[in-house]
Chains A and B, each alone.
Chain A
Amino acid sequence: AQTVTQSQPEMSVQEAETVTLSCTYDTSESDYYLFWYKQPPSRQMILVIRQEAYKQQNATENRFSVNFQKAAKSFSLKISDSQLGDAAMYFCAIGGNQFYFGTGTSLTVIP
């Protein structure tokens, strides 16, 4: 079985500052992918960033980057230069044939 743990139910960040959302996971699979999804209030869940587990290089997508520590089974998301539009629920997920999601972190951006 695969599990995903997000230990921070809520986080806040000042606009233009940097914030890191934590995620740990457990899997017995050797080949898997890790994801961060964003769900703005009353809006659709969208993919933020994806990391292939076999790649050592951390994925980056504009202001979003990950810190992937495979041995520690950790996959944190860093948001740089936070913007008001970043306010959302963020879900960490592990995927292969099936997907498993964490319970989410609600991010508030303070103007």
Chain B
Amino acid sequence: DVKVTQSSRYLVKRTGEKVFLECVQDMDHENMFWYRQDPGLGLRLIYFSYDVKMKEKGDIPEGYSVSREKKERFSLILESASTNQTSMYLCASTSGETQYFGPGTRLLVL
């Protein structure tokens, strides 16, 4: 079975803090994605990566950055967290045409 894990299920941070969300997949997938999920807006793509050290902006990259130093790990970084970044963050990986999702991290920024 494909396994995508995320470092935290729930996080509470303060405005201005630097926040790291980690995602790990164990299937040697080349492509990895970060989405945020908000009610009524569905899933919106923040960043994706096709290979180690490669990254591409998605639809809403502002306020975020990513890091992919190893194939299995894709990190999402909030450089200075703001309250409008309170959301559910989903990581996914693909090999071929299907995406497999992690359990999600629910982030609250106070």
Are the CB atoms of A45 and B90 closer together than 8 Å?
A: yes
Given contacts A44-B102, A50-B97, A95-B97, contact A103 B48 (CB under 8 A): no
Are the CB atoms of B102 and A91 closer together than 8 Å?
A: no
Q: How far is the CB of B94 from chain A (nearest CB, A)?
A: 8
Residues of A within 8 A of B58 (CB): 98
Are the CB atoms of A98 and B45 closer together than 8 Å?
A: yes
Residues of A within 8 A of B99 (CB): 35, 47, 93, 95, 99
The interface bits of chain B over 35-75 (1 if a CB of A lies within 8 angstroms of the residue's CB, else 0) are 10000111101001000000000100000000000000000
B interface residues, tally (CB under 8 Å): 19
Q: Name the one of B33, B42, B45, B92 contacting A104, with C-beta atoms under 8 angstroms.
A: B42
A104 to B43, CA, bound (A): 9
Nearest opposing residue in chain B for A106, CB measure: B39
A4 to B59, CA, bound (A): 14
Total cross-chain contacts (CB, 8 A)? 45
Q: Is the interface of A mostly helix, strand, loop or mixed?
A: strand
Residues of B within 8 A of A25 (CB): none
Residues of B within 8 A of A47 (CB): 98-100
Are the CB atoms of A98 and B48 closer together than 8 Å?
A: yes
Q: How far is the CB of A63 from chain B (nearest CB, A)?
A: 20
Nearest opposing residue in chain B for A32, CB measure: B97
Are the CB atoms of A44 and B42 closer together than 8 Å?
A: no
A64 at the interface (CB under 8 A from B): no
Residues of A within 8 A of B35 (CB): 101
Given contacts A99-B45, A103-B41, contact A44 B104 (CB under 8 A): yes
Q: Name the one of A6, A35, A98, A104 contacting B98, with C-beta atoms under 8 angstroms.
A: A35
Residues of B within 8 A of A50 (CB): 97-98
A45 to B2, CA, bound (A): 13
Q: Which residues of B approach A to under 8 Å, CB–CB?
A: 33, 35, 40-43, 45, 48, 58, 90, 92, 97-104
> Which 9 pairs, one residue from A and one from B, show the smallest C-beta to C-beta distance?
A45-B101, A103-B42, A101-B43, A33-B97, A101-B42, A44-B103, A104-B42, A102-B42, A99-B99
